[in-house]
Amino acid sequence: MGKLKCYDFCVHAVPDGDNSVEELASLARHFGYAGFALTNHSDKLPQKKPVLPSLEGFEIFRGIELVEENPSKLHGLVGKFRKNADVLIVHGGSEKVNRAAVENPSVDILNHPSFEKSSGINQVLAKAAADNEVAIGLNMRPLLHSRGSRRIRLLTDLMANLDLARKYDVQLVLSSDAMSCYDLRSPRELLALAELFGLEESEAVNALSTVPERILARNRPSPGNVREGVEVVEEVDFL
Amino acid sequence: MKHLMPSLRSKKRYLAFELFSEEPVNRGELVREVLSSASALLGDVLASECDIHVLGFEAGKGIIQCSHSKVTETRAALAAITRVNRLRATLYVLGVSGTIKRATEKYLNDDAGFEPNLKAVEE
């Protein structure tokens, strides 16, 4: 992978998933990730805020995946969790929720947009997503765990969304959506899968590295940040 | 039958891999799963072009052979494995090489093996 830093921006640990953050992190680091975002579903959060373990050479980001059917309540939740989350994901799945997610600039990623007979994204939503810099998440777990008709449906939706994303310049994020450590896949494996599913190599690399880094830069201003657009890059003593 | 001349033999790549599974699995179970996953993901035609063979598998590590032009497809098929013999598993390709010798030396012989502690929670 060279020096490219890859991030998995959708990982679920206990109590949402099966494994602890430590287990997931040690395997992800072994797989060559520079870091991942712990994004438990908002309806399965632990009682108290988990203390994120620190591993050498591996970063764990605070994230959350919001599950809410009601758009106005969703906007409320976004406001509530935005301050403490590096990565804010909305679990889509209905027209109203998808629309609310892509129209809210505070949202980072929209996951699982597809529902019934639609891929979940149309030209209106794609344009809104591009304007508000909301990325569309491509999750591997459902694709790997299904076979036959269900996987065909999922892939058709993925390709439809990919076409729209290309046309309207919507950002994409590749992630494992791991519920256990056995759902993690190394960056190289994700790239191979993405390429097989029709992404160009550069698009896949962007979705695994560049876009996550951009999301982090947006939500974690550097220490020298003064205000939007103004940053102290290097401090020099003027006599 | 006379052996095929080296120049006429199909070119291959060798993927050294590591398998993490809930319980240890044997080679036969893995072979079945690799082929079934390739056939399900790629279809029988493309899977046959990949020329996938599990050459060896011991103690969670092994080597898989594939056609030199189908490394990406093979990797994807391997990544699509979610269960081996009904046990949850994930396969990680350590590296790709043009000869078995090099793949073994480079990726399978290092002493700094990784032992993920997947059962016990470490501090």
Give B121→chain A minimum CA distance, Å: 7
Evaluate if residue B115 carries a pLDDT over 50: yes
**pLDDT for A232:** 72
Q: Is B113 helix (H, G, I), strand (E, B) or coil?
A: coil
Q: Is A227 among the domain residues? A: no
Host domain of residue A174: 65-220
Which among A62, A58, A67, A17 has a CA at the least distance from the CA of A34? A58
**pLDDT for A58:** 87
Q: How far apart are CA B105 and CA B56, in angstroms?
A: 14
Q: What is this model's ipTM?
A: 0.84
Instruction: Find chain B residues with C-beta within 8 A of A1's C-beta.
Output: none
Q: Is A117 among the domain residues? A: yes
- The answer to whether the CB atoms of A193 and B80 lie below 8 A apart is yes
Q: Is A191 among the domain residues? A: yes
A185 in B contact zone (CB under 8 Å): yes
Tell me the CATH number at A130: 3.20.20.140
- DSSP characters for B22-79? SS---HHHHHHHHHHHHHHHHHHHHHHHHT-EEEEEETTEEEEEEETT-HHHHHHHHH
- The answer to whether the CB atoms of A193 and B89 lie below 8 A apart is no
Is B10-107 in CATH node 3.30.70.3250? yes
Domain residues of chain B, as ranges?
10-107
Option in A22, A151, A192 nearest B121 (CB): A22
**DSSP for residue B111:** S
Which residues of chain A form beta strands (DSSP E)?
7-11, 35-41, 59-66, 87-91, 109-111, 135-139, 172-175, 225-227, 230-231
- In a structure prediction context, what are the per-residue pLDDT tens digits for chain A, which is 239 residues long? 557 889 999 999 888 888 888 888 889 999 989 989 888 888 777 666 767 778 888 888 888 888 888 888 888 888 888 888 888 999 988 888 999 999 988 899 999 988 888 888 889 999 999 999 899 999 999 999 998 899 999 999 999 999 999 999 999 999 999 899 899 999 999 999 999 999 999 999 999 998 988 888 888 776 666 676 777 777 667 66
- The answer to whether the CB atoms of B90 and A181 lie below 8 A apart is yes
Percent of chain B with pLDDT over 90: 63
**pLDDT for B120:** 43
Evaluate if residue B123 carries a pLDDT over 60: no
Beta strands B83-84; A135-139: pairing state: unpaired
How many domains does chain A fold into?
1
Q: Is A239 among the domain residues? A: no
Q: Is A201 among the domain residues? A: yes
